[in-house]
Amino acid sequence: MGMNGAAKLALANVRKEFVVPRTNEQVVAVEDVSLAVEAGEFLVIVGPSGCGKSTILNLLAGLEMPSGGRVEMDGRAIEGPAAERGMVFQDYALFPWKTVFENVEFGLRYGPRRSTVGAGERRERVRQYIELVNLQGSAQKYPHELSGGMRQRCAIARLLANEPEVLLMDEPFAALDAQTRIILQEELLRIWGEVRPQSKRKTVVFITHSIDEAVFLADRVVVMSSHPGRFIRTFEVDLARPRNETVRSDARFSALSQEIWSLIRDEVYRAAMTGDGGQG
Amino acid sequence: MTARLPLRGLFLPVLLIALWQVWGFGLPEKSRAPLPLEVVEAAARLIGSGDLPNAVLMSLGRVATGFLLAGSLALVLGLLMGYIRTVERNLDPIIESFRPVAPIALLPLAILWFGTGTPAAVFVVAYAAFFPMIINTIHGVKTAERRLVQAAQTLGLSRWRILQAVILPAALPAIFVGARLSMGSAWMSIVAAELAVGSKGGGGGTGGIGEMMFVFYAYYIELNSIVVCMITVGLVALAIDHGLRRLQRWMLPWA
């Protein structure tokens, strides 16, 4: 799929099974999934809840190991979590005993670069990223003193300050109200560096169940179905960048959204009526 | 309303103490019943002479020593047991088989090994302080949020850094619960240990509060002073717990 051969991230015929602890039942979360993510690409995986999209992200992060197939970065197998693949979680996962400043500083202070980045440079970089996400007034606050949107900004700054090559985002805006969500989507594109050429951008894999969000953010949308989780179709999003609010009223935007919705509608209905699904 | 509650709560105790005192006026001289006014007198005497403060300080010193020795060992072992499955598998049976043995039951052993002085008391205190601390530390490590560990992993932290920078702070609230229970149990067992050891030196300058009680009970049959000691034991326990809670609020402002 990659235009210039080598993919940044690759999944090849990946399968992931779980054993349900209480019943010892085998569940296939993801079956025969293949995907190549280009360097600098913003890829969004969208699907109904319970389709295994979070599993894909955990595999890419190295938090889980595949039961079959290969998961690679730059052509090398991913064998565990590493600083080069940073992650943002739906529930923020900020360290509650650390202030905003200390949270953003966390990776540089305790991670693999702690000996190469000096204290002065570290503070400067942290200040820079706090400004980038507009939290400069709250640097000394604790996470519990922040709104949900501010917490997620803080988590994004923590991720970026660690300067990973790949950003993995697991439904980062799902817990936020609709207005905050829209604002943070635009913010994310700005922070990601929409105006820069693709070679200067970070590679992003973003998970969501919101089709609007997927189309607004993505270069490419991959649609998943559940039981077991599979990729059913890929859409190139040929909307011009930088994108802003007006894109949402673009005819191409609604056409794409409609098309994706018609693909997953049946499954979403089934899940909603039977209470099926659950884990993201 | 909330401000008046404590005062109202005092009404019945004060009434009972007054009744007790009135009843006491009717008792013959040399009776063995301690009486409120005489307890107050005894308290003034014991505090004035410095005997009571010295005894409390002596006992507190022993408790602090035993608590620090046992607490730091329990903290390290608890962190490792909660974090590394193999360590837990090997140590858990040992710890669980000692845990039901009451600290005071170790006293004969402690006296044979260390004599009747401070080392024996410290040994019993350390034993009593060890278990609440290690059990709560293990619990704290195991209930540390998995998400926070994952966040640290994706920031590139090594397993040992995660123990230091994520697991330990996440477990601190539980560790504080352990420390408070541990201190409570240490203080109770110091009094019991000192009582059982008795006092060769005759209370006073060198003994702890338990030894002081022993002297009043065995040598002088001084009930009012014994009651003063009992009240002191309770107040000191309250003060320790209050102090630890304040320390927790100060150290863990987020919790």
ipTM: 0.91
Q: What is the dihedral of CA A59, A65, A66, A68, to 10 degrees?
A: 150
Find the angle CA(B128)-CA(B133)-CA(B138) to the nearest 5 degrees. Answer: 140
Q: Are B192 and B175 in contact (CB under 8 A)?
A: no
Nearest chain B residue to A162 by CA: give it: B155
What is the pLDDT confidence band of residue B205, given thresholds at 50, 70 and 90?
very low
Structure tokens at A149: 């949107």
What is the pLDDT confidence band of residue A278, given thresholds at 50, 70 and 90?
very low
Terminal CA-CA length for chain A: 26
What is the pLDDT confidence band of residue B33, given thresholds at 50, 70 and 90?
confident
Residues forming a β-bridge with A224: A231
> Contact B155/A96, CB-based, under 8 Å?
no
Q: Are B151 and B233 in contact (CB under 8 A)?
A: no
Chain B residues within 8 A of A142 when measuring between CB atoms:
253-254
Question: Is the per-residue pLDDT at B196 higher than 90?
Answer: no
CA distance A80 to chain B (A): 9
Q: Is A9 helix (H, G, I), strand (E, B) or coil?
A: strand
Nearest chain B residue to A105 by CA: give it: B155
Strand order across the A230-236 sheet: A85-88, A166-170, A203-208, A42-46, A220-225, A230-236
Residues forming a β-bridge with A40: none
Query: How would DSSP label each residue in A87-117?
Result: EE-TT----TTS-HHHHHHHHHHHSTTTTTS
Q: In what helix (H) or strand (E) does residue A172 lie, and over which residues does it extend?
A: none
Q: Are A47 and A223 in contact (CB under 8 A)?
A: yes
Closest CA to A83 of B152, B62, B141, B53: B152
What is the pLDDT confidence band of residue B28, given thresholds at 50, 70 and 90?
confident
Render pLDDT for A17-48 as a digit per residue (tens, 0 to 9).
Answer: 998 888 888 889 999 999 999 999 999 999 88
Chain B residues within 8 A of A95 when measuring between CB atoms:
148, 151, 166, 169
Before A21, cis peptide (omega within 30)?
Answer: no
- The CB-side HSE value for A239 (13 A sphere, CA atoms) comes to 28
Pairing of strands A220-225, A203-208: unpaired
CA distance A164 to chain B (A): 8
Chain A residues within 8 A of B174 when measuring between CB atoms:
none
Question: Is the per-residue pLDDT at B79 higher than 50?
Answer: yes
Nearest chain B residue to A163 by CA: give it: B155
Q: How far is CA B157 from CA A82, A158, B151, B237, in A?
A: 8, 14, 9, 41
What is the pLDDT confidence band of residue A199, given thresholds at 50, 70 and 90?
confident
Q: Are A8 and A37 in contact (CB under 8 A)?
A: yes
What is the pLDDT confidence band of residue A276, given thresholds at 50, 70 and 90?
low
A-contacting residues of B 189-248, CB under 8 Å?
Answer: none
CA distance A104 to A100: 6
Chain A contact residues (CB < 8 Å to B): 61-63, 80-87, 89, 91, 93-97, 106-107, 110-113, 142-144, 158, 162, 168
Residue B31 touches chain A, beta carbons under 8 Å: no
The arithmetic mean of pLDDT across residues A64-78, rounded, is: 96
Render pLDDT for B147-187 as a digit per residue (tens, 0 to 9).
Answer: 999 999 999 999 999 999 999 999 999 999 999 999 999 99
